[in-house]
Every structure is written in structure tokens, then in C-alpha cells.
Amino acid sequence: MGKIKQLSKETINLISAGEVIENPSDILKELLENSIDAKATEITVDVKDAGISLLQVTDNGFGVERDDLLFCLEKYTTSKLESIDDLLTINSFGFRGEALSSINAVSKLKITSSVDDSGKAYFVENLDVKETSFKKGTKIEIRDLFYNLPVRKKYLKSNSVEFSKLYDIFLANVFLNPQITFKFNSEKKKVIFPKTNYENRLLQVFGTDIKSKGIFIDISNDFFKLKGVISNPSNQIYFPTNFLFINKRFVYSPQIYKIITEAYKDYLMIQQKPFFILFFEIDSRTVDVNVHPKKRVVKLLNEMLFLSELKKELNIILEKNLGKSTPQINSLNDYFKMDNPSNKFEYDKNKALSNTNFSRNTKYTVNDYYKPTQSIFNSETTDREELPTLFEHKITRFVGQLHNTYIVCETKEGVLFIDQHAADERINLEKNRQKVTFEKQNLISELPLPYLSEAHKDILLNNKLKLNELGFNYVYKDNKFYLTTLALFLDKYLDKNMFINILEDIKESTNTVDKLKDNLLKLKSCKQSIKANQELTLPEQIQLIKKLNLCKDKGICAHGRPTIIYFSKSELEKLFKRIV
């Protein structure tokens, strides 16, 4: 007898269900899409135990006929698709006819529905149809998810993580359908979002902060139409989830996420992530929504052109809106873009970032600098000819230290403001990139990590190899994590916030180990740098500027903030209305 056998129908259904249903959020997605396709104007979601014990969706859509109640539980039964040609222009959310069949295979399912306002309705449970009373619409109850698949249930995340995923799916549909009233009831949260318009729906969810902290966009070009809101780098909004929609589908695209992150790279501090809610409209013939069992990932026909155009549009928007939030007085912006030989600096690690010792016993003033008979410099800076240059700006006079934070220098054509912390941070980053290794050191005693959330524990459990490469070894016992090693260079700098930031960084699936290592170097560079409100002597200020000028990327700190701001003399005269 041969070894190959035909699987039973029950086994096939369970395997197929696993492709579509991995957690409660997958079920909620399918049920909400069915309700929206049924033209519902009010949808209520009820949840217990993050959707594991109960997940119920009730709508006032057009309902399901009695004869269809059983039939809709069969595999590949749908009212939305007739031929293969329809796949190219499909506009409804569900269309493959797998969802209800898959849900029924892994849970205890009950569907109650009525097609009119007579009060007469039918429900199906355990493949048995009976009459009942119900208003027009449909109620689908899902109980005891994975009761018959204990292995699958074991791989569910903690309730808090599963709830977050579930609520994100709910919010995605709330954003997509402002014309529908949504209600959500659970042990953790009870909310109502009445029907409204697109902008008011954002206000309902985020409050008025979205107006001041977001940049509203509306773009139309040959590749796409795009509207939505992105975070304003000068007034950052925090929300744990970004929302990307293509042709009214909540999707994930690593390529689009990467383009958005790159657009913000010089505007946000380290560990800050851009927030966005973006709605793309693209010719449906150029989008394949059938490449993933959950329709969560889409494939674009002209992806490279699409991404190139998106990057261009985002750069324009960010430059324009940053101009609105601050005066256009940083003339070096244009200089950074020039193909200027003097700006093509080759980093000299032998000259840059050398340690210089200063005496704190002597106090200096700016006036001291101009006494010809008195030298206040060390052997490296003994006369006026030694005054430093920064970019193309030759410093002619040190005006002083403003609020013990900003160094103010006069140049022949204007004035420079140097952020002493940002400048030293850039210097330290380039030094650390040259010298620091991720050699591990053993801790004398295990360091407990009692402050971890369930989500952070999941990151530790699932990313041990990455964390080992970053220098962290740890053990898990008595339901707690303990560090046993860390990278030697972090010995003086690691604290609770830094470790949480590292875990948040790892959560971003697009971050490679090299990227994570560089982010750690940025954190270290920040912590070891001169602080704001720290008094510097004049020789210290001069040495800081000299070292900054030797850096490769001297215009920005490790976080992407500017190290200097320059006003030309003509810009100052315009500000004071001396010239127009």
C-alpha cells in the first residue's frame, strides 16, 4: 500500500484556516469587511479576553438569506466574485469565500441574520439552522478561539499584545469608513465613533492635537492620489501604530515604510518614528491584492516608479512645512546641497576628536581674548590667526556663550550659532563609529529587568540572536528576565530608558543588526556629550568648533538636529527691515 494518502476534509479545513486565521485580529478584519460590504451604517464590536473567549460583530447591513446561512460556511463560496477577470478589478473587501469557513473550523461560531425589519430572523449554529427574532442585519459570535487547536492557541501572544492588534484593526476600519458609526466594547475600552467626515474622524480618535502636530496632505499625480496626515517633525505626535491604506485596504508595505522613514531621517531624533495615516488611490489594474492569504500585503505593478514619486512628494512636503514652522534663516541648507569642493571633507581620524585637557581653575571672558599682551590659549591656539573656520565661515570674533548652551560667533559675512551638545554629539558619534567594538563583559551579578511590559518580553523571547550580537546575554527564570552580559562600551551608560529604546528599535522589523548597532552608538554619543546649560571656557569652545569642522557630517547631530544655524548679514538686515 502506498504512503501518500488523501487528507480528510476536516484536516484540510484546519490547515486552510491556519493560513487565514492566526489570531483574533484576523477574525475581526474579516468580519468588519463583511459588514462594510453589506452596506452597514452602524457596526458594534464586543470583545472578551482580547477576542479569545468572545469576539462578536453586529451590523445593520442587508443581512443573509436563510438558504445562504449554511452555504456561506462552505469553502470558496462568495457573492462578490464570479470569474477570474473580476480579480483584476475587485473593489469589495472579501471575495475568496474562505473567511467564514476558516473561522468555523477553529472556533464555536454562531450567525444570526435578518434581511428586513419584520423581526423574523434565522441563526446557524453547529451546522443547524433555526428561526429566531432579530432586527435587520447580522450578528456573528465567535467563542473559544482555537479550542480544537491547542498548539495554535499556545502560540498566541499575551492578551495585551493580542488586544493591541485587535484594536488596530478596529481603528483601521474606523478611519476608512467615517460614514459608519462604530462602537467598541471590552473590559479595557468602551468607545463610540459617530458617523462623520474624514477630518472629524481623525479628531474623534486623536483629539485636537492632530491639527497642531500633524501635516495634512492631499496629492494627485500620474501615479497615485494621496491624502492623509503625517507627523510634523517640529511638533512630533506619538501613536504606536501607523496606518497605510491602498484602495481602501489596510495593508503593510515594508518598501513604503522605508521610503517614509528615509524622508524623515534628518528631521527626527534617534528612536523617534514618523507617524502617518495615508490613503492611496491607485488604478486597481496596477495593484494585485491576491498575493497574500490575508490580503494584508499588495503588489504594485510599477513599484519603483511609485516609490520614487512618493519620496519626491514627501521631501517637498517636509521642506515646505518645516519652512512654515521656523523662519527660513538656515542658509547652510543650500550649501549642503552644493557640489562645492570645500564641502567634500575627508575624515581624518588622526586629527579629529583628540582629547584636549583644559584647566577649570582659570576663568576667561571674551574681553580677555582681545588683550594683545595676554594669551589665554594653550600651545595649539596662541594667536588670532588660529581662529577656527566652520564650513566656509571664517570666525572673526567669539561673542560668547548664550544660556550656557549655544556658542555665538561673528563671521565676516554674518553670525553663527552652535549648539554645543549637538556639536559634541556629532564629534563623539564619528569617534565611536571609528573605535567602538561590541565586546561583551560579564556582569558580576545578574541584573533583573522588572520594568518590562508583555510586549517587551515577547521581543526578548523572539530576538535572542540579535540581542546577543548587540552584546546582551540574558536568562529567563521565575517569569523574569535577567541580564548576564552587556557591551563593554555601555557600562556607564545603560539605564532603563536606553534598554527600552533598544527593544523598541528591535521591534521595527526593517532594522538590521548593523542599523541597531549604529543606533546604540548614537545613544552612547548623546549620553557622553557636553550638556546644555554647561559652562565652557573660551578655549573649550574653540576646540569644540575645530573638532566639529573635522567631522564628515558636521551639519547635523546624531539625532538629525542641526549643529549650527547661520544668519548672513543681509538676512539680519531683512529681519530688522533695514533692507527689503
pLDDT at position 12? 56
Q: pLDDT of 170-213, one tens digit each?
A: 999 999 999 999 999 999 889 999 999 999 999 999 888 888 88
Q: pLDDT of 531-547, one tens digit each?
A: 999 999 999 999 999 99
pLDDT at position 128? 92
In the predicted structure, residue 39 carries a pLDDT above the cut 90? yes
Q: How far is CA 247 from the centre of its chain?
A: 21
What average pLDDT is seen over the chain? 81
Among residues 179, 168, 100, 112, the alpha carbon closest in space to that of 140 is found at: 112
Least confident of 115-119, 323-327, 468-472, 490-494: 323-327
In the predicted structure, residue 96 carries a pLDDT above the cut 60? no
pLDDT at position 20? 65
> Distance between CA atoms of 151 and 161, rounded to whole angstroms?
18
Least confident of 22-36, 191-205, 318-332: 318-332
pLDDT at position 269? 66
8 A C-beta contact, residue 291 and residue 298: yes
The beta strands (E) that lie in 349-419 are given as: 389-390, 393-402, 406-411, 414-419
Grid cell for residue 434: 571609528
In the predicted structure, residue 138 carries a pLDDT above the cut 50? yes
pLDDT at position 343? 34
> Distance between CA atoms of 59 and 36, rounded to whole angstroms?
9
pTM for this model (two decimals): 0.58
Q: CA 156 → CA 21, 146, 151, 153, distances in Å? A: 11, 10, 9, 5
8 A C-beta contact, residue 432 and residue 551: no
Residue 19's pLDDT band (cuts 50, 70, 90): low
Beta bridge partners of 124: 111, 129
In the predicted structure, residue 152 carries a pLDDT above the cut 60? yes
Among residues 468, 455, 457, 463, the alpha carbon closest in space to that of 517 is found at: 468
Residue 124's pLDDT band (cuts 50, 70, 90): very high
pLDDT at position 291? 61
8 A C-beta contact, residue 181 and residue 41: yes
Residue 87's pLDDT band (cuts 50, 70, 90): very low
Name residue, grid cell 474624514: 198
Residue 418's pLDDT band (cuts 50, 70, 90): very high
DSSP-H helix ranges across 444-533: 454-462, 464-469, 496-507, 513-527
> Distance between CA atoms of 483 and 475, rounded to whole angstroms?
7
Q: What is the CATH number of domain 341-580?
A: 3.30.1540.20
Q: What percent of the chain has pLDDT over 70?
A: 78
Q: pLDDT of 217-243, one tens digit each?
A: 999 998 999 999 998 876 677 777 899
pLDDT at position 207? 87
Q: Which H, E and C letters describe 268-304, residue by residue? A: CCCCCCCCEEEEEECCHHHEECCCCCCCCCCEECCHH
Q: CA 416 → CA 374, 391, 399, distances in Å? A: 26, 11, 10
pLDDT at position 203? 92
The DSSP H or E segment spanning 129 is strand 128-133
Mean pLDDT of 309-330: 68
In the predicted structure, residue 53 carries a pLDDT above the cut 90? yes
8 A C-beta contact, residue 530 and residue 544: yes
Mean pLDDT of 149-177: 91
pLDDT at position 383? 47
Q: Which long-range contacts (CB under 8 A, 24 or more apart) does 507-510 make?
A: 507/455, 507/459, 508/273, 509/254, 510/254, 510/257, 510/258, 510/261
pLDDT at position 64? 92
pLDDT at position 456? 86
Cα atoms found within 13 Å of the Cα of residue 95, Cβ hemisphere only: 17
pLDDT at position 477? 87
Beta bridge partners of 281: 225
Residue 323, number of CB atoms within 10 A of its CB: 11
Q: pLDDT of 473-518, one tens digit each?
A: 999 888 889 999 999 888 788 877 788 888 888 887 667 888 888 8
8 A C-beta contact, residue 367 and residue 526: no
Mean pLDDT of 229-258: 85
Domain-by-domain residue ranges, the chain?
9-193, 198-325, 341-580
Residue 248 — left, alpha, or beta (φ > 0 → left; ψ -120 to 50 → alpha)? Answer: left
The residues, ordered by sequence, that sit 6+ positions from 497 with a Cβ below 8 Å of its Cβ are none
Q: CA 331 → CA 39, 334, 422, 562, distances in Å? A: 55, 6, 18, 12
Sheet hosting strand 214-220, strand order edge to edge: 214-220, 225-231, 276-281, 243-246, 249-250
Q: CATH classification of 198-325, choosing from 3.80.10.10, 3.30.230.10, 3.30.750.200, 3.90.75.20?
A: 3.30.230.10
Q: How far is CA 322 from the centre of its chain?
A: 20
pLDDT at position 8? 62
Residue 265's pLDDT band (cuts 50, 70, 90): confident
Per DSSP, 556 falls in state: B
The DSSP H or E segment spanning 426 is helix 420-435
Q: pLDDT of 335-387, one tens digit each?
A: 233 333 333 333 333 333 333 333 334 444 444 443 332 333 333 443 444 78
Q: What is the CATH number of domain 9-193?
A: 3.30.565.10
Among residues 237, 233, 223, the alpha carbon closest in space to that of 277 is found at: 237
> Distance between CA atoms of 149 and 141, rounded to whole angstroms?
19
Residue 78's pLDDT band (cuts 50, 70, 90): low
The residues, ordered by sequence, that sit 6+ positions from 276 with a Cβ below 8 Å of its Cβ are 228, 229, 230, 231, 242, 243, 244, 260
Highest average pLDDT, of 63-72, 141-150, 254-263, 292-301, comes from 141-150
Mean pLDDT of 420-424: 94
pLDDT at position 471? 92
In the predicted structure, residue 438 carries a pLDDT above the cut 60? yes
8 A C-beta contact, residue 241 and residue 535: no
In the predicted structure, residue 32 carries a pLDDT above the cut 90? yes
pLDDT at position 1? 52
